Chains A and B, each alone.
Chain A
Amino acid sequence: MPKIKVKRASTTIDMTAMCDVSFLLLTFFILTATARQPEPLPVDTPASTVQIKVPDTDLGTITVGDNGKVFFGVAGPNIRIRMLERMSEKYSVGFSKQEKERFSLMEGFGVPFGNLKQIIAMDNTERNKKGLQPGIPADSVGNNPSELHEWIIAARYATKEIDNKEMRVAIKGDAKEQYPAIRKVIDILQGQKINKFSLVTNLREAD
Chain B
Amino acid sequence: MAELNTGGKQQPRVDLTPMVDLAFLLITFFMLTTTLAKPHAMDVAMPDKDKENKDDNLELADNRSMTVLLGANNKIAYYMGQLEKPLEGPTTVDYGKSGIRPILLKKMKDVQAATGKGLIVVIRPSDNSNYRNLVDILDEMKIVNATQYMIGDISNPEVDLLKSEGIY
| Chain A residues within 8 Å of B, Cβ to Cβ | 15-16, 18-19, 22-23, 25-26, 29-30, 32-34, 36, 45-55, 64, 170, 172-180, 182-183, 186, 190-191, 193, 195-204, 206-207
With A50-B40, A178-B129, A179-B129 given, name 5 new contacts (CB 8 A): A19-B16, A29-B34, A179-B130, A191-B49, A195-B46
Given contacts A15-B16, A48-B42, A196-B45, contact A179 B34 (CB under 8 A): no
Output the least CB separation between A25 and chain B (Å). Answer: 5
- Chain B residues 92-148 with CB under 8 Å of chain A are 96-97, 125-136, 138-139, 142-143
Q: Are B130 and A196 in contact (CB under 8 A)?
A: no
**Complex formed: what's the CA distance from A173 to B40 in Å?**
13
With contacts defined as CB atoms under 8 Å apart, how many contacts are there between chain A and chain B in the complex?
A: 148
Q: Are B131 and A16 in contact (CB under 8 A)?
A: no
| Chain B residues within 8 Å of A, Cβ to Cβ | 15-17, 19-20, 23-24, 26-27, 30-31, 33-34, 36-49, 70, 96-97, 125-136, 138-139, 142-143
Main secondary structure of the interface of A (DSSP, over half): mixed
Q: Which residues of chain B have C-beta atoms less than 8 A from A180's C-beta? A: 127
Output the least CB separation between A130 and chain B (Å). Answer: 20
**Complex formed: what's the CA distance from A47 to B44 in Å?**
15
Given contacts A29-B30, A29-B31, A51-B40, contact A201 B135 (CB under 8 A): yes
Q: Which residues of chain B have C-beta atoms less than 8 A from A15's C-beta? A: 15-17, 19-20
